[in-house]
Chains A and B, each alone.
Chain A
Amino acid sequence: MNKSRRRILSICIFVFGLTGAVSTAAEPLGKVIYKKNSLYNSIFVYQNGSIVTMKFGRKSGVHLQSQVDLDNPQQHLLEYTRMAFCGLLYKPDPKTMLVLGLGGGVIPSQMRYYFPLMEIDVAEIDADVVPAATKYMGFKEDENLKVTVDDGRMFIKKQLRKKQIPKYDLIVLDAFNGDYIPFHLMTREFLDEVKGVLADDGVVIANVFFTFRLFDAEFKTFLSVFGRGQAFYGSYSGNAMIVSPGAKCDMLTPQKVLERAGQLQQKLSLSFDLTEVAKMLRPDAQPERKAKVLTDDLAPVNWLKEQETEEPSGKNP
């Protein structure tokens, strides 16, 4: 991808929002059915027909968190929620899952639909997001799907303090809003703590944008903690999923990924084509050589998320 195309894509991402560019984002989001200034966000919920959108911030068009079609809740309207299923390619039968960042609750809701018995923990710092997701986005807590209102890092620290430390098969890191990325959820020390609650055959995935230098820094930080990592690159949203498997979980070749995607597609009757997600894997992708590992001491994440990458570093579709 040349630099001008990259620039155009970056602008599109800026316009369409941090947590996922949406094919429907160019269309009006509809009328505001809920708004609240919480401690952390300005939460807006829009409805246009059966499409409900949760957005943080007042700027038009940016910071889309989640989008659902109430008439067809299994449909993925945002590319990144489909991409979050890439974790299943490494761990096809997860029993436990941890999601940091609820938003509209699409990822836990979808996982609950396909895995009715899976134990799912969600940590969300903003107490006002939970009722909004429940009332307007179709999100439901149940006996095995629990939301804890807490900072993601504190949630994991508290899990680590337990005598019997819970281990998760799938961990999804998605605790961003549009304007601000909490630095302490991207550092080596944080990922060390994540590693402490990851099952040996589990997998951790993080949603990041690959067109900004933050991606390279985060990818490098993952490699420094987990030793291994792969990345899936969204085809139009600019989202990337960095995937690092636990000690007893294998890295996958593109052929193996496609094979597993086909098997899972049949087994789960997914509402979208998982093989399309599988094709997003770039096995040769590496972070930029000059990228620095993020630490609690040095993590200029909000500056890095504004810096476009200069070199493709083998990650472009």
Chain B
Amino acid sequence: MQNQSSGTIHAQGRHLHAAAIILISCVCGWFMMELEILGVRVLVPYFGSAVYVITGSVIGVFLLSLSVGYLLGGWLSNKINAWIELGLVMVAVGACFIAIPVIDEPVCTMIFNTGINEQWGSLLASLILFGVPTVLLGTVSPTVMHWLTTQASDSGFNAGLVLATSTITGFAGCIVAAFYLVLYSLRMTLCISGAIMMTLGAVVLVTFCWRYRNGGCR
């Protein structure tokens, strides 16, 4: 009887953690798409609004960085505790968001002044400004999938669940950034988003440490 009760409590805790870790992947999905939309606004004043700036440079760099992030996340998932990794990723991505408004002008101006054409110039600028945060955000999904999966037969369902929920919130982030955040200061939006990410990351890390000390964290 006692064991059953303990098992129920454990299962409830497991469900709570699962919800929290899926929520983290959703938050990361939101901020990734927000960054992609705002990234266009960052680059256009320096490289123009030609199609290749938007489709080639921004979307291309995001896809490339995500693929690197997926690989990295998959590799890291067996080497580092998921909660520590997710917390650190969120703090680092938040810092990148805050850094973008500080470095965008010198980076883009320097690239433009080299005389490189807009196609390659915008691609390079996009890589420098958005590459690192997107790689980091790419590590989130494999990490979350790995944490959720306790037996092989669940892996497909977990992968589908993580991808679906993070993509839906990514869609929401895309819509909110494109339709509403455009009404506000780009720099302020990036800084506030970065601060939110850093705070959430810190909460994850602190919670992990607290639970680790009490012996209750996987």
Contacts and interface: CB of A to CB of B under 8 A. Distances in A.
Interface stretch (B132-140, B143-151, B177-185): B177-185
Interface in B159-210: 182-187
B34 to A, nearest CB: 16
Contacts of A161: 113, 115
Interface stretch (B10-18, B48-56, B79-87): B48-56
Nearest to A189: B45
Contacts of B41: 183
Contact of A154 (B51, B118, B182, B184): B118
B49 A182 contact: yes
B182 A150 contact: no
Contacts of A182: 44, 49
Interface string A272-299: 0000000000000000000000001110
B112 interface: yes
A154 B47 CA distance: 7
A34 interface: no
A236 interface: no
A184 B46 CA distance: 9
Given A154-B118, A157-B112, A161-B113, A297 B186 contact: yes
Interface string A291-317: 000001110101100000000000000
B45 A298 contact: no
Given A154-B118, A161-B113, A184 B44 contact: yes
Contacts of A153: 45, 48
State which size class the interface on A falls in. 20 to 34
B45 A296 contact: yes
Nearest to B187: A297
B45 A190 contact: yes
A8 interface: no
Contacts of A240: none
A242 interface: no
A107 interface: no
A114 interface: no
Nearest to A39: B51
Contact of B49 (A151, A157, A296): A151
A298 B48 contact: no
Interface in A120-169: 125, 150-151, 153-154, 157, 161
Interface in A183-222: 183-184, 187, 189-190
Interface string A13-26: 00000000000000
Interface string B81-116: 000000000000000000000000000000011010
A40 interface: yes
A300 B182 contact: yes
A213 B85 CA distance: 47
A298 B113 contact: no
Contact of A298 (B50, B51, B115, B184): B184
A296 B118 CA distance: 18
B49 A125 contact: yes
Contacts of A125: 48-50
B45 A303 contact: no
Contacts of B187: 297
A70 to B, nearest CB: 32
Contacts of B48: 125, 150-151, 153-154, 184
Nearest to B118: A154
A116 B45 CA distance: 34
Contact of A184 (B45, B118, B183, B184): B45
A184 B185 contact: no
Given A190-B45, A297-B186, A303-B182, 7 more contacts: A151-B50, A153-B48, A154-B48, A154-B50, A296-B186, A298-B184, A300-B182
15 contacts: A40-B51, A151-B50, A154-B47, A154-B50, A161-B115, A183-B41, A184-B44, A184-B45, A184-B48, A184-B49, A189-B45, A190-B45, A297-B186, A297-B187, A298-B184
